């Protein structure tokens, strides 16, 4: 059968000590010449690609998140999976975004203030996108709190910020730094348009009036908050 | 029907868990990379000066750059530069030198700032960790680049990430665009091998003397013979180390693809300044019996010759010089140069065929036939 | 609530209960005398002459248990199970509260015969029995060390394997693989595990001798039996007493049916209850089981199906959640029963759901639950028919059978104004939510088992409409 205790935590207990040991090993290894060479390679890699990965991850997060919310595209099973992908890719995207900022600041390409203060430049757009995404991430983490609170609707209003932050991030990615290849630009434009269209469809679907068929079937469907009894009484 | 749904629910849970685990793994990996980078940055002396320039554009694609227009808040402390370079060299390269010399390097590093921009906010030069007495090893050398940001020197040694960072923003009044490109490749690691010749007149034969060190049978390779004139093995930019008033010095030539050739115990230098572009076969100096960067006293005049990149020496193994393929074998522990079926070991004589490919001239080994 | 205690016929275990609230060591000795030590061979012979059986529910011959422990090598442990997990049973608590020395006498008698290293008594933590027992141990100086292990009251904590784990310092849930306590029990030592009443009976047997002991009861099942009637009265009756007599004596009516053997037992219809006699053979003859001696009549004027659903829900929530038959099988039983009560399901679906766990699972919890539900389907067939035809039987709902109220457990609730019937929750926690015909969630109305809490939180976090929430909770 299934011997796994069900109240086992999501992150196993051994993870933190192991992670601490690995971190110490990395700190020690970095001081050796081969370690220094490896870090140099990692640094050049992150300088070049952390931003790109963050942007790609963000795009994936946007698309998968949109798909997971809507019931017309996927079955339940895949929507649940899509939610997991949405969370995982957003986590990875945020990690790469933070790496992007840290590495750029450490390399002297930007000052710490540039990461958060908006100015009407390519760099400033990135800062704006970062600020907005930070807020979106916080709302994402607090989703269960909103669901339990008095105004669950507020969550959606706040999380919708991502639809503004993402295009800003894309514009930053295309204008700042090295010249993007043509297909990259087109790829981003295509995903922008796709998400835009999907969003439009969704808004149209959600805003339309309540399903008249369902209304006719259940004229007195319960519209109050209650703890449901196991015997839903039907007459 | 319901039963099947329940069973599948378990699957989706685990699949979702797996996706979350993957996301978490990415986050942790990036985090570990970041702490390593932060540590490296701190070890290299903090964040380099913030200069807003498009990143990672090849240097030759840029217009000639001027030094930053922002006037520094205080004049560059030039007197502090060389001591700081010495300290940086000691901090970063002592470990590598210990490995190369086999013993603790005794003396303090030597540093020489050889080039400055006009406002003295940018400097370029050489540093070396002297070889302890009686050790026949090749000296560990490095180039440095330094920038005065208004309050302090930001500097990096060749081979460091910071060196490449500074190379991206260094004004072309200090280093030529071509030179920047070669130095960047030198710092990161060469791309491909240049056509090298042996560093003497083509056609002449010199005697090869090899001394092992550590795991390299050809760690210290010495040549002598012929007219004693040392020539550049390939095109490149020339840098001098440990120059002493008698004219003795160590010379390193950084070639276009980033590999460098090192010529030790030279005398009678031509007086080329650092960064002089040299062509293959240009005279560099003469063989000598001095040892400007320390080390064992040679018993006769000769040229100590080596290959180098970024932070360390490059083994001769598989390298082609003057039509010879050099081999450094670990087991049996022996090094030699081969061409066709002739092999030359220490004490042997090497004719310089020039910068040619040995494959063209190679002939198959004679197959022993039964008599 | 202190249970009332009565006796039908001559008192044995309850000797002196009519005069004293609690028998301390002096009163106990005055009633039962000092029990002489017996060799293991003598003890086994004595026990086998009256065929003493375990009184915890399984009715395993006690003599065979003794023999099994003695034949293995290392020193033994005597483990007394006084932590009855069943809400309908009060007899062990009563024994411990009022005659703790009787239980200790029996346990120490067995321990001396086995040359045991220690006696361990598992009790409900913080219950009245615990303090009485500790006091009793302090009153006497047992030759074998006696240890008391407190357990949090939970249905399956009364399971023997769970008790062994608790006594060894583990989490008190049944072990996944069945291990004989007699081979490897507490801390790996061979363990004589039996119920508190069994040890009390053993003490009485040793004190009276086999002939006098067999003067009450039936020839095949001599002696008396402790029953807990209607969750309120503990009664000692001689085996073979008609069940009707017991019910009359306790002034309760058989009502719509009588549950015998507890929540792992079976329902008897009123006719069977009227003809049955209280003994293992007598109850089995009418399709019931003596079990731990629990007798729960269901009065008129309550909906039996609702009662059954309430108990099954409780049983499902009490599961340790460590094996499939419990994790998904039991909630499935609750769901099919709920559908049956609402008139949308069928008896066949319930039977199918019940059949899933039969003969499987880490302990007999799914099996016992299946017996309980199956017998209910027989006994309350008429009521079920009414439900099937009308969706309700019109009787007031609300569980009258004794169930511990657990208001601290978290619950899922649905904000109906927001719910859009995405169905994600039913997919993530099939244990707690299933969907109606229109795709809207129906919650299993039970306190949430601890093992499903994480998934429930996940369902709350995943609800696309933010309509699910969790209330209560620790």
Q: Which domains does chain C have, with CATH numbers?
A: 4-213 (3.40.50.11540), 304-390 (1.20.1440.230), 411-471 (3.30.70.20)
Residue A93: pLDDT over 90: yes
Which positions ≥6 away from A58 have C-beta within 8 Å?
A90, A93, A97, A133, A166, A169
CB contact under 8 A, C427 and A224: no
Q: What architecture is the B205-361 domain classified under in CATH? A: Distorted Sandwich (2.70)
- Quote the pLDDT of residue A25: 92
- Contact partners for chain B, using 3 or more CB pairs closer than 8 A, are A, C
Residue A78: pLDDT over 80: yes
The verdict on whether omega for the bond into residue B59 sits within 30 degrees of 0, i.e. cis, is no
How many domains are contained in chain A?
1
Residue C455: pLDDT over 90: no
- Quote the pLDDT of residue C175: 64
Q: In this structure, is the dihedral angle defined by the CA atoms of residues C275, C287, C56 and C228, taken in order, positive or negative?
A: negative
Instruction: Indicate whether A192 belongs to any domain.
Output: yes
Q: How confident is the model at residue C324 (pLDDT cuts 50, 70, 90)?
A: low
**B-C C-beta contacts closer than 8 Å:** 13
- Quote the pLDDT of residue C446: 61
Nearest to C327 by CA among A211, B50, B13: B13
Q: Which of B34, B95, B164 sits opposite A102 (nearest CB)?
A: B34
Higher pLDDT, C139 or A231: C139
- The angle at the Cα of C232, spanning C229 to C238, to the nearest 5 degrees, equals 35
Count of alpha carbons within 13 Å of B206, Cβ hemisphere only? 29
Q: Which residues in chain A have their CB less than 8 angstroms from residue B161's CB?
A: 39-40, 43-44, 107
Q: Which chain A residue shows the shortest CA-CA distance from B92?
A: A33
- Quote the pLDDT of residue B64: 41
Helices (H), ranges, C115-190:
128-139, 160-167
Q: Which chain B residue shows the shortest CA-CA distance from C458?
A: B13
Q: Which A residues, 211 through 230, put their C-beta within 8 Å of a C-beta on chain C?
A: 214, 217-218, 221-230
CA distance A170 to A192: 9
Residue B212: pLDDT over 90: no
Which positions ≥6 away from A17 have C-beta within 8 Å?
none
In three-state form (DSSP H/G/I as H, E/B as E, the rest C), the secondary structure along chain A is CCCCCCCCCCCCCCHHHHHHHHHHHHHHHHCCHHHHHHHHHHHHHHHHHHHHHHHHHHHHHHHHHHHHHCCCCCCHHHHHHHHHHHHHHHHHHHHHHHHHHHHHHHCCCCCHHHHCCCCCCHHHHHHHHHHHHHHHHHHHHCHHHHHHCCCCHHHHHHHCCHHHHHHHHHHHHHHCCCCCCHHHHHHHHHHHHHHHHHHHHHHHHHHCCCCHHHHHHCCCCCCCEECCCCCCCCC
- Among B49-53, C114-118, C183-187, C260-264, the range scoring the smallest mean pLDDT is B49-53
Judged by DSSP in three states, C164 sits in helix
Q: What is the pLDDT of residues B328-368, one digit of tens each?
A: 888 788 888 888 778 888 888 888 888 887 665 544 444 44
- Quote the pLDDT of residue C406: 60
**H/E element, C207:** helix C196-208
Asked if residues B84 and B155 have their Cβ atoms less than 8 Å apart, the reply is yes
Judged by DSSP in three states, C461 sits in helix
Q: In the β-sheet with C411-415, what is the strand arrangement from edge to edge?
A: A225-226, C411-415, C468-471
Asked if residues C420 and C327 have their Cβ atoms less than 8 Å apart, the reply is no
Q: Which chain A residue shows the shortest CA-CA distance from C411?
A: A227
**What's the rounded mean pLDDT across residues B178-195?**
84
Buried b / exposed e over A69-100, threshold 16 CB at 10 Å, is bbbeeeebeebbbbbbbbbbbbbbbbbbbbbb
Residue A132: pLDDT over 80: yes
Residue C344: pLDDT over 80: no
- Quote the pLDDT of residue A207: 57
Q: What is the pLDDT of residues C116-170, one digit of tens each?
A: 889 999 888 877 788 899 999 998 888 888 998 887 766 555 566 777 877 777 7
Higher pLDDT, B191 or A193: A193
CB contact under 8 A, A111 and B24: no
Higher pLDDT, A101 or C310: A101
**The residue count for chain C:** 474
Residue B13: pLDDT over 60: no
End-to-end alpha carbon distance in chain A: 41
Distance from CA of A179 to the nearest CA of B (A): 9
Domain that holds residue A108: 23-208
- Cα→Cα distances C288→B5, B111, C295, C372, C375, Å: 36, 99, 11, 10, 9
Q: Which residues in chain C have their CB less than 8 angstroms from residue B13's CB?
A: 428, 455
Nearest to B266 by CA among B212, B200, B214: B200
**What's the rounded mean pLDDT across residues C437-451?**
72
Using a CB–CB cutoff of 8 Å, tell me whether A109 touches chain B: yes
**Kind of pairing between the strands at C411-415 and B342-344:** unpaired
Which positions ≥6 away from B52 have C-beta within 8 Å?
A109, A110
- Among A161-175, A182-196, A199-213, B119-133, the range scoring the smallest mean pLDDT is A199-213
Asked if residues C55 and C197 have their Cβ atoms less than 8 Å apart, the reply is yes
CA distance C83 to C95: 12
Nearest to A229 by CA among C412, C254, C294: C412
CB contact under 8 A, A232 and C313: no
Distance from CA of A83 to the nearest CA of C (A): 7
Q: Which residues in chain B have their CB less than 8 angstroms from residue C457's CB?
A: none
**The residue count for chain A:** 235
Asked if residues A164 and A121 have their Cβ atoms less than 8 Å apart, the reply is no
Asked if residues C22 and C96 have their Cβ atoms less than 8 Å apart, the reply is no
Q: What is the pLDDT of residues C172-208, one digit of tens each?
A: 666 656 566 766 777 778 888 888 999 999 999 998 8
Which positions ≥6 away from B86 have C-beta within 8 Å?
B108, B109, B110, B111, B127
Phi, psi of C16 (to 5 degrees): 90, -10
**What's the rounded mean pLDDT across residues A164-181?**
82
CB contact under 8 A, B6 and C428: no
Instruction: Indicate whether A139 belongs to any domain.
Output: yes
Q: How confident is the model at residue C264 (pLDDT cuts 50, 70, 90)?
A: confident
User: Mean pLDDT of all residues in chain C?
Assistant: 82
Residue B260: pLDDT over 90: yes
Interface test with C, best of A227, A229, A231 (most C CBs within 10 A): A231
Q: What is the pLDDT of residues C227-253, one digit of tens each?
A: 998 888 889 998 888 998 888 888 888
Using a CB–CB cutoff of 8 Å, tell me whether A2 touches chain C: yes
Asked if residues C424 and C463 have their Cβ atoms less than 8 Å apart, the reply is yes
- The angle at the Cα of C462, spanning C461 to C466, to the nearest 5 degrees, equals 75
Judged by DSSP in three states, C8 sits in coil
CB contact under 8 A, A43 and B37: yes
Count of alpha carbons within 13 Å of C92, Cβ hemisphere only? 30
**Kind of pairing between the strands at B276-278 and B236-241:** antiparallel
- Quote the pLDDT of residue B274: 79
- Quote the pLDDT of residue B105: 84
Calculate the CA B278 to chain-centre distance.
Answer: 17
Tokens representing B130 are: 């002297």
Q: How confident is the model at residue C109 (pLDDT cuts 50, 70, 90)?
A: very high
CA distance B126 to B141: 7
Residue A235: pLDDT over 50: no
Instruction: Indicate whether A157 belongs to any domain.
Output: yes
Asked if residues A115 and A130 have their Cβ atoms less than 8 Å apart, the reply is yes
Residue B30: pLDDT over 90: yes
Instruction: Indicate whether A227 belongs to any domain.
Output: no
- Among A115-129, A190-204, B71-85, B202-216, the range scoring the smallest mean pLDDT is B71-85
In three-state form (DSSP H/G/I as H, E/B as E, the rest C), the secondary structure along chain B is CHHHHHHHHHHHHHHHHHHHHHHHHHHHHHHHHHHHHHHHHHHCCCCCCCCCCCCCCCHHHCCCCCCCCCCCCCCCCHHHHHHHHHHHHHHHHHHHHHHHHCCCCCCCCEEEEEEECCCCCEEEEEEEECECCCCCCCCEEEEEEEEECCCCEEEEECCCHHHHHHHHHCCCCCCCHHHHHHHHHHHHCCCCCCCECCCCCCCCEEEEEEEEECCEEEEEEEEEECCCEEECCCCEEEEEECCCCCCCEEEEEECCCCCEEEEEEEECCCCCCCCEEECCCCEEEEEECCCCCECCCCCCCEEEEEEEECCEEECCCCCEECCEEEEEECCCCEEEEEECCEEECCCCEEECCCCCCHHHHCCCCCCCCCC
* pLDDT above 90 as % of chain A: 18
- Quote the pLDDT of residue C358: 59
Instruction: Indicate whether A234 belongs to any domain.
Output: no
Which residue spans of chain B are classified as CATH 2.70.70.10?
A: 205-361
**What's the rounded mean pLDDT across residues C401-405?**
71
* pLDDT above 70 as % of chain B: 84
């Amino acid at each position: 059968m299934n011997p796994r205790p069900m109240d086992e935590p999501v992150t196993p207990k051994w993870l933190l000590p192991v992670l601490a040991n690995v971190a110490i090993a990395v700190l020690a290894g970095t001081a050796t010449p081969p370690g220094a060479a490896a870090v140099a390679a990692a640094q050049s890699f992150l300088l070049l690609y952390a931003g790109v990965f963050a942007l790609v991850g963000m795009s994936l997060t946007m698309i998968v998140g949109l798909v997971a919310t809507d019931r017309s595209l996927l079955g339940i099973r895949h929507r649940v999976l899509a939610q997991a992908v949405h969370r995982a890719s957003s986590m990875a995207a945020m990690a790469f975004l933070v790496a992007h900022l840290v590495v750029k600041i450490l390399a002297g390409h930007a000052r710490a203030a540039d990461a958060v203060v908006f100015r009407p430049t390519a760099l400033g757009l990135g800062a704006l996108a970062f600020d907005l995404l930070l807020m979106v991430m916080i709302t994402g983490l607090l989703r269960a709190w909103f669901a339990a609170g008095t105004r669950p609707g507020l969550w959606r209003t706040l999380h919708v910020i991502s639809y503004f932050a993402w295009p800003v991030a894309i514009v930053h990615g295309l204008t700042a730094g090295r010249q993007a290849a043509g297909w990259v630009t087109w790829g981003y434009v295509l995903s922008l348009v796709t998400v835009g269209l999907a969003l439009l469809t969704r808004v149209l679907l959600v805003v339309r009036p309540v399903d008249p068929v369902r209304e006719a079937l259940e004229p007195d469907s319960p519209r109050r908050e209650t703890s449901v009894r196991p015997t839903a009484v039907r007459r | 029907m319901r039963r099947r749904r329940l069973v599948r629910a378990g699957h989706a849970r685990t699949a979702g868990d797996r996706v979350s685990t993957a996301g978490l793994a990415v986050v942790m990996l990036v985090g570990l990379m970041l702490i390593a980078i932060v540590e490296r940055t701190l070890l290299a002396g903090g964040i380099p000066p913030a200069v807003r320039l498009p990143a990672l554009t090849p240097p030759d694609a840029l217009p000639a750059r001027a030094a930053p227009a922002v006037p520094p808040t205080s004049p560059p402390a030039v007197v502090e530069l060389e001591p700081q370079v010495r300290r940086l060299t000691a901090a970063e390269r002592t470990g590598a030198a210990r490995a190369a010399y086999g013993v603790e390097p005794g003396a303090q590093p030597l540093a020489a700032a050889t080039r400055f921009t006009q406002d003295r906010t940018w400097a370029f030069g050489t540093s070396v960790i002297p070889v302890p007495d009686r050790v026949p090893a090749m000296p560990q050398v490095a180039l440095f680049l330094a920038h005065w940001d208004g309050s302090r020197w930001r500097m990096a040694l060749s081979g460091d990430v910071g060196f490449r960072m500074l190379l991206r923003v260094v004004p072309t009044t200090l280093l030529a665009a071509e030179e920047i490109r070669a130095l960047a490749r030198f710092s990161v690691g060469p791309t491909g091998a240049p056509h090298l010749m042996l560093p003497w007149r083509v056609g002449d034969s010199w005697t090869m003397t090899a001394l092992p060190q550590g795991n390299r049978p050809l760690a210290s390779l010495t040549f002598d013979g012929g007219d004693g004139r040392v020539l550049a093995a390939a095109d490149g930019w020339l840098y001098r180390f440990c120059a002493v008033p008698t004219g003795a010095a160590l010379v390193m030539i950084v070639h276009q693809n980033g590999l460098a050739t090192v010529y030790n115990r030279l005398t009678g230098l031509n007086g080329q300044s650092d960064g002089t572009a040299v062509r293959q076969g240009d005279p560099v100096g003469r063989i000598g019996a001095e040892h400007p960067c320390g080390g064992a006293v040679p018993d006769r005049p000769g040229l100590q010759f080596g290959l180098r990149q970024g932070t360390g020496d490059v083994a001769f193994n598989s390298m082609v010089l003057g039509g010879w393929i050099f081999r450094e074998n670990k087991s049996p522990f022996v090094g030699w140069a081969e061409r066709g079926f002739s092999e030359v070991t220490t004490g042997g004589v090497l004719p310089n065929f020039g910068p040619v490919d040995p494959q063209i001239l190679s002939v198959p080994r004679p197959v022993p036939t039964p008599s | 609530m202190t249970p009332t205690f009565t006796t039908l016929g001559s008192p044995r275990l309850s000797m002196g209960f009519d005069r004293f609230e609690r028998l301390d060591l002096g009163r106990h000795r005055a009633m039962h005398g000092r029990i002489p030590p017996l060799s293991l061979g003598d003890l086994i012979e004595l026990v086998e002459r009256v065929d003493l059986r375990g009184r915890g529910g399984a009715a395993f011959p006690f003599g065979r248990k003794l023999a099994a422990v003695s034949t293995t090598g290392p020193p033994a442990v005597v483990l007394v199970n006084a932590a009855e997990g069943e809400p309908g049973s009060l007899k062990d608590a009563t024994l411990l509260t009022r005659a703790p020395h009787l239980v200790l006498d029996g346990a120490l008698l067995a321990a001396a015969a086995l040359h045991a290293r220690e006696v361990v008594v598992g009790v409900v933590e913080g219950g009245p029995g615990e303090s009485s027992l500790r006091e009793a141990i302090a009153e006497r100086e047992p030759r074998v060390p006696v240890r008391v292990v407190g357990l949090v009251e939970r249905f399956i904590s009364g399971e023997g394997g769970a008790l062994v784990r608790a006594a060894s310092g583990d989490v008190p849930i049944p072990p996944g693989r069945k291990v004989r306590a007699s081979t490897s029990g507490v801390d790996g030592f061979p363990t004589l595990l039996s119920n508190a009443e069994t040890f009390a009976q053993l003490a009485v047997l040793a004190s009276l001798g086999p002939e006098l002991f067999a003067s009450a009861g039936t020839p095949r099942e001599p002696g008396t039996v402790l029953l807990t009637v209607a969750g309120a009265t503990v009664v000692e009756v001689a085996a073979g007493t008609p069940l009707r007599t017991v019910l009359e004596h306790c002034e309760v009516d058989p009502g719509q049916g009588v549950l015998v053997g507890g929540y792992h037992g079976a329902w008897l219809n009123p006719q069977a209850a009227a003809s049955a006699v209280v003994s293992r053979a007598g109850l089995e003859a009418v399709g019931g089981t003596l079990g731990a001696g629990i007798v729960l009549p269901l009065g008129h004027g309550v909906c039996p199906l609702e009662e059954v659903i309430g108990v099954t829900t409780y049983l499902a929530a009490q599961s340790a959640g460590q094996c499939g038959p419990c994790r998904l099988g039991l909630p499935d039983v609750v769901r099919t029963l709920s559908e049956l009560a609402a008139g949308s399901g069928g008896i066949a679906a319930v039977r199918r759901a019940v059949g899933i766990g039969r003969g499987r699972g880490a302990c007999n919890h799914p099996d016992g639950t299946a017996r309980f539900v199956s017998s209910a389907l027989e006994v309350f067939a008429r009521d079920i028919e009414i439900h099937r035809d009308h969706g309700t039987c019109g009787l007031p709902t609300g569980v009258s059978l004794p169930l511990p109220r657990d208001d601290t457990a978290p619950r899922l609730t649905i904000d109906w104004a927001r719910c859009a019937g995405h169905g994600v929750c039913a997919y993530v926690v099939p244990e707690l939510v299933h969907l109606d015909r229109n795709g809207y969630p129906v919650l299993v109305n039970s306190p949430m088992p601890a093992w499903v809490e994480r998934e429930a939180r996940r369902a709350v976090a995943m609800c696309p409409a933010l309509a699910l929430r969790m209330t209560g909770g620790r």
